[in-house]
Amino acid sequence: MPTARAWREYPQRYRYEAAVCAKCGKWFFPPRLVCDACGHREFETKTMKRTGKILTHTVIRVPPAPFKDQAPFAVAVVEMDDGPRITTQYVDWKEGQLLIGQKVRLEFRKIYTDGHAGTIQYGYKAVPA
């Protein structure tokens, strides 16, 4: 991944910063320039709470190349308590915890490395809350 792009995404990947529409209050993660609900163009920066719940999930058994050492791993669509939905890996779970409705929390984790010599991509993953 280009390092410039990774760096640009730190506020979201590292600090869960979202944009809240100044007119209708809709939360956007990642931030947007125009609200798709009301068309307004001004936003407030807010940090999302780290908690949410699983809406759907799967276990990836045939991973993409940068993740080949990690399979199998679970991925879920998580609805954050503040509203936005994200797609994220789900880790450190035991049997009975991979289900729709499971409460989760985001933790700072390594996502993948760009080979042996490239940069390390950090971001968020969900763990059982």
Partner 1 sequence: MRDVAIIGVGMNKKWGELWEMSMRDIFVEAALDAIDNAGVDHVDSMYVGCMSGGLFTGQEHIGALMADYLGQCPVPATRVESACASGGAAVRAGFMEVASGMSDIVLVGGVEKMNDVSGDDATYALATASDQEWEAFSGVTFPGLYAMMAVAHMHSYGTTIEQLAAVAVKNHANGSKNPRAQFPMKITVDTVLSSVLVADPLHILDCSPITDGAAAVILCPADRAKQLAKNAPVQILASTQASDTIAYHSRADLTAIESTAKAAAAAYKMSGKRPDQIDLFEVHDCFTIAEIMVMEALGLVEKGKGGPAVEAGETAIGASIPINASGGLKSKGHPVGATGVAQIVEVVEQLRGASGERQVAGARVGLTQNMGGTGASSVVHILEVM
Partner 2 sequence: MTVGIVGYGACLPRHRIKVEEIAKVWGADAPSYKKGLELREKSVPAPDQDVITLSVEAARNALARAPMVDPQEIGAIYIGSESHPYAVKPSGTTLAEAIGATPNCHVADFEFACKAGSEGMFVAHGLVKAGLIKYGMGIGADTSQGAPGDALEYSASAGAAAFIFGADNVIATIDHTHSYMTDTPDFWRREGMNYPQHAGRFTGEPAYFKHTLGATQAILQKSGMKPKDFAFAVFHQPNGKFPMRAGKMLGFSREQIEVGWLVPTLGNTYSGASPLGLSAVLDVAKPGDKIMMCSYGSGSGSDAFIYTVTERIKQVQDLAPKTRWMLEHDPIYLEYGEYAKFRHKILKAEL
Site for partner 2, rule CB under 8 A: 10, 14-15, 68-70, 89, 91-92, 94, 107-111, 120, 122, 125
What is the separation of C-alpha 115 from the centre of its chain, rounded to a whole number of angstroms?
22
Both tokens assigned to 9? 């995404």
Q: How far is 108 from 88, CA to CA, in rounded Å?
A: 12
**By C-beta, is 101 or 115 nearer to partner 2?**
115
Answer yes or no whether residue 87 interacts with partner 1 by CB under 8 A: yes
Q: Pick from 59, 55, 64: which is nearest to 74 by CA?
A: 59
SS3 11: helix
Give the residue, chosen from 17, 70, 122, 128, that forms a contact with partner 1 under the rule CB under 8 A: 70
Q: Which among partner 2, partner 1, none contacts residue 117 (Cβ within 5 to 8 A by kind)?
A: none
CA–chain centroid gap for 11, Å, is: 12
Query: Of partner 2, partner 1, none, which one sits near residue 88, judging by CB under 5 to 8 A according to partner kind?
Result: partner 1
Does residue 122 touch partner 1 according to CB under 8 A?
Answer: no
Structure tokens at 51: 């908690």
Q: Does 9 bind partner 1 (CB under 8 A)?
A: yes
- Torsion over CA of 14, 58, 60 and 81, rounded to 10 degrees? 0
Q: Contact residues for partner 1 (CB under 8 A)?
A: 1, 5, 9, 30, 55-67, 70, 73, 75-77, 85-89, 100, 111-112, 121, 123
